[in-house]
Structure 1
Amino acid sequence: MAFWEPRSTALTIRRILKVNHAGEFGAIRIYNAQLALARHLYPDIVPALTEMRDDEIEHCRLFVEAMPARGARPCRVMAFWSLGGYVLGFVTALLGRNMIWVCTEAVEATVHRHLEDQIAFLRDRDRPLHDLIGSIQAQELAHLQHAVDHQPRQGLLRAATLPLIGLVTESLIWLSTWGDTGSMRRELAR
């Protein structure tokens, strides 16, 4: 008998929805903070940030709508996503327009890795959710590409903050599943 039994498909799907909803909420908070400063400091990037934020609002709504049919509920640590997202967005905006794009790149690259795992898992298990996440992933990749295209690819600050922001994002994902991302990843890999 194995010491670890694979999690049920339904539980994994609920976790996917929970963490994706929380992540979209955190992204909204990041963009809201960045927009608050960008309106005064970098007005030329406000339209792009507004469009990305509006995409995240729509993604959040779609995940909320998908939850009831699958017995999922919002994450219990939404306050961390709210505060963490706002602080991250505010600090990166204070550090300059380039840091806004570094933040977007780091967050979206981390999210992309998780969405890839989820799409692979859901392909034969929940086709409607698979398709929903696939369509959302396309927009998230567009955000990532925009961020990459609008920043210089060098600098000590970028080199230091890119992995740090990725680690913060991974940590919030871990916290949202109460440390169970390891078993969720194993289940997603099945």
Structure 2
Amino acid sequence: MTLTPAERLSAIRIAKVNHAGEYGAIRIYAAQIAISRWFWPKLADRLAELKAHEITHCRLFAQALAERGGRPCRAMYLWSTGGWVLGAASALFGQNMVWTCTEAVEDTVHHHMTDQLTFLRNRDAGLHDLIESIRAEEEGHLSLARQEKTRTTRLTRAFEAVIRGSVEVVIWLSTWGDSTRMRRDLRGAA
């Protein structure tokens, strides 16, 4: 199927934001691992496994972006710095907050990937299949976080809200608002 110029641009923006998001996840895990190595070495080892997945995802999205003629996101510094700060803050508050962070990020990303898959279904089979395969692994991260999270408190709920809001803002900035338009168009088509 031939994409319209607007659909092609949306596919590039999807690959771009997913590449940036995976880079942000790498930075979150890097900060969490650095702090956890001091206090909870076993947690650091588990986080290193998750980080390895994100490194692979980042590489795959970088390839998909290049194949579509796109360039990395202009807001990479937000993903990098924000990811590191978020990872460090969550780790400083303890293991439960690390899993709270993972749950909030993965759940927010899951919703965006669902929208992306719906949009790409009959437009870009290669990118659709890539996102589908990565989403399955990300769902495993979400499931693990929910399993490991020991309690929900006012602090964890507040932290989750900040994380979700921050991720939404950076996604919106990274797609130049395409994420909002895509979600609106998909709801209108349903």
Tell me the TM-score normalized by structure 1. Answer: 0.92
Q: 1:188 to 1:56 in 2, by over 3 A?
A: farther
Q: Distance in 1 between matches of 2:184 and 2:142?
A: 26
Q: Specify every segment of 5 or more residues in structure 1 that has no aligned partner in the other structure, as ranges.
A: 1-5
**What residue is the counterpart of 2:22 in the other structure?**
24
Q: Distance in 2 between matches of 1:173 and 1:82?
A: 13
Moved more, 97-106 or 167-176: 167-176
**1:94 corresponds to 2:92:** yes
**What residue is the counterpart of 2:113 in the other structure?**
115
Q: Distance in 2 between matches of 1:114 and 1:138?
A: 14
CA deviation vs aligned residue, 1:34-77 (integer Å, no higher than 9, x gap): 00001111111122101110100000000111112212111011
Identical columns (%): 52
**What residue is the counterpart of 2:41 in the other structure?**
43
**What residue is the counterpart of 2:7 in the other structure?**
9
2:96–2:151 contact (8 Å) kept in structure 1: no
2:111 partner SS: helix
| Cα drift, residue 188 of structure 1 | 5.1
Q: 1:64 to 1:88 in 2, by over 3 A?
A: same
Question: Which among 157, 161, 181 is matched to residue 183 of structure 1?
Answer: 181
1:8 partner SS: helix
RMSD: 1.6
Question: Which among 130, 150, 153 is matched to residue 155 of structure 1?
Answer: 153
1:158 partner SS: helix
1:123–1:130 contact (8 Å) kept in structure 2: yes
Question: Which among 50, 53, 59 is matched to residue 52 of structure 1?
Answer: 50
Q: 1:132 to 1:68 in 2, by over 3 A?
A: same
Paired residues, number: 185
Moved more, 169-178 or 12-21: 169-178
**Equivalent AA in structure 1 for residue 162 of structure 2:** L
Q: Specify every segment of 5 or more residues in structure 2 that has no aligned partner in the other structure, as ranges.
A: none
Runs of 4+ off more than 4 Å: 187-190
**What residue is the counterpart of 1:135 in the other structure?**
133
| Cα drift, residue 161 of structure 1 | 1.1
